[in-house]
Amino acid sequence: MFNKLKQFKDVRSRAKTLQNALSQETAEGTASWGKIKVVMDGNQKVKSVSIDPTLKNDLKTLEEGCRDAVNDAVTKIQKIMATKMKDLGGDELAQDFQQLMKK
């Protein structure tokens, strides 16, 4: 039982390290010809939103642009996350966690 707790602590520690590394990564999504920008970190938290004031009277373009910019940022950050997880042993971490849950 103590061995399992030690393994769980190790997996948790590695997960925290991965989460901290991902929080340092950012990606910028853009839309509406660069008039809308969204910056997102590696934990998929939106850090900033920038909207060109010329869009203030065009609600439909503004709504679609926000959606597209967020989706662009998500796509970009997911690619960064996959690379970072591979580099930091994220696949091994997931396998170790699954094995702990089976026992």
> Domain locations in the chain?
2-102
Cα Rg, the chain, nearest whole Å: 19
Class of domain 2-102: alpha beta
d(CA 52, CA 35) in angstroms, rounded, equals 5
Here the tokens at position 97 are 């966690």
**What are the pLDDT digits (tens) for 2-25?**
677 777 788 788 788 888 888 899
For residues 79 and 28, is the Cβ–Cβ distance under 8 A? no
Q: Please, where are the H alpha helices in the chain? A: 2-23, 59-87, 90-102
**Mean pLDDT, range 36-44, rounded to an integer:** 94
Q: What's this model's pTM, rounded to 2 decimal places?
A: 0.75
